[in-house]
Amino acid sequence: MNGVHDMGGMQDMGPVQREENEPVFYQRWEGRVFGMMWLGSAWRKWNLDAMRSAIENIPPADYLRLSYYEKWFAALIDLVTSRGLVTRAEVESGRPAAASAKATPPVAATGVPALIARGNPVRRDVAVAARFQAGQRVRGRNINPPGHTRLPRYARGRTGTVERDHGVFVFPDANAHFQGEKPQHLYTVRFAARELWGEQAAARDAIYVNLWDDHLEPA
């Protein structure tokens, strides 16, 4: 989706504002949202790609205005309702529907270290032929899918060089929409800064982007 989340290369967003010694969570509710998103995902009703897609689906004006964890909260409500963990009516009332069964949480406090250690393994040990090799010239495809994609707009139609083949990984553009993992090779592609931004960029500089087979074509 050519959404406002695809920010690379946009201008007029102002200076980068830093704060010394900022807390991990400014307010308690931010940590609760962080935790609910993660523990809720243990029900395997959504994956990390779907979570990113839910954030991208926030209307653009809201996306720019909301804080990071406000966006997470909007996405969390979207996911728990659209994926069937709770109903909209339950979210509105804050109470379980009458006669709804009580489940057992899949992760207890003692299971949290293992949950963190398990991570989000998305490399797949399957035999899929690589379409490109290190050193090969490639071009970001000119695709404009209405859903989730990890191919940034700034790399579409631009030519770069495959730096490295990382092996076979889950393809987020499909996985985010529960269309299967579509595992394929993931690469690091080096784009000269001037290829992306023209003469205003420094001659030596480069942008490295991780892209999958379906994002690329031979140049």
Partner 1 sequence: MHDLAHAQEPEHEHSVVPSDPALRVKSLESLLVEKGLVDPAALDALVDAYEHKIGPRNGAQVVARAWVDPAFKKRLLADGTAAIGELGFGGRGGDYLVVVENTPQVHNLVVCTLCSCYPWALLGLPPVWYKSAAYRSRAVIDPRGVLREFGLEIPEGVEVRVHDTTAELRYLVLPELPAGTDKLKEEELAALVTRDAMIGVAKVTLPKAGGRA
Q: Which of residues 7-26 bind partner 1 (CB under 8 A)?
A: 7-11, 13-19, 22-26
**Site membership for partner 1, residue 95 (CB under 8 A):** yes
**Site membership for partner 1, residue 44 (CB under 8 A):** no
Q: In angstroms, how far is CA 38 from the centroid of its own chain?
A: 14
Contact stretch for partner 1 (CB under 8 A) within 60-68, 126-134, 137-145, 173-181: 60-68
Cα radius of gyration rounded to whole Å, the chain: 20
Residue-wise DSSP of 72-134: HHHHHHHHHHHTTSS-HHHHHHTSPPTTPPP---S--GGGHHHHHHH----B-------S--T
Binding partner 1 by CB under 8 A: which of 98, 121, 127, 146? 121
Q: How far is the CB of 123 from partner 1 (least distance, A)?
A: 7
**Site membership for partner 1, residue 137 (CB under 8 A):** no
The size of the interface with partner 1 (CB under 8 A), counted in residues, is 100
Task: Tell me the two tokens of residue 16.
Answer: 């980068």
- Contacting partner 1 within 73-92 (CB under 8 A): 73-74, 76-77, 80, 85-86, 90-91
Residue 141 contacts by C-beta under 8 Å, 6 or more apart in sequence? 151, 156, 214, 215, 216, 217
3-state secondary structure of 49: helix
**Site membership for partner 1, residue 39 (CB under 8 A):** yes
Binding partner 1 by CB under 8 A: which of 126, 134, 202, 219? 202
- Contacting partner 1 within 147-186 (CB under 8 A): 150-152, 154, 166, 169, 172, 186
Contact stretch for partner 1 (CB under 8 A) within 118-126, 129-137, 138-146, 175-183: 118-126
Return the number of the residue (81 or 136) whose C-beta is nearest partner 1.
81
Give the Cβ contact number of residue 206 at 10 Å. Answer: 16
3-state helix, strand, coil in the chain (%, to 5): 35, 15, 50
**Site membership for partner 1, residue 1 (CB under 8 A):** no
User: E-strand spans in the chain?
Assistant: 137-140, 159-169, 184-192, 206-212, 216-218
Contact stretch for partner 1 (CB under 8 A) within 121-129, 136-144, 176-184: 121-129
Q: How far is the CB of 66 from partner 1 (least distance, A)?
A: 6
**Site membership for partner 1, residue 59 (CB under 8 A):** yes
Are the beta carbons of 113 and 191 closer than 8 angstroms? Answer: no
Q: How far is the CB of 157 from partner 1 (least distance, A)?
A: 16
Task: Say how far apart CA 86 and CA 59 lie, in whole Å.
Answer: 23
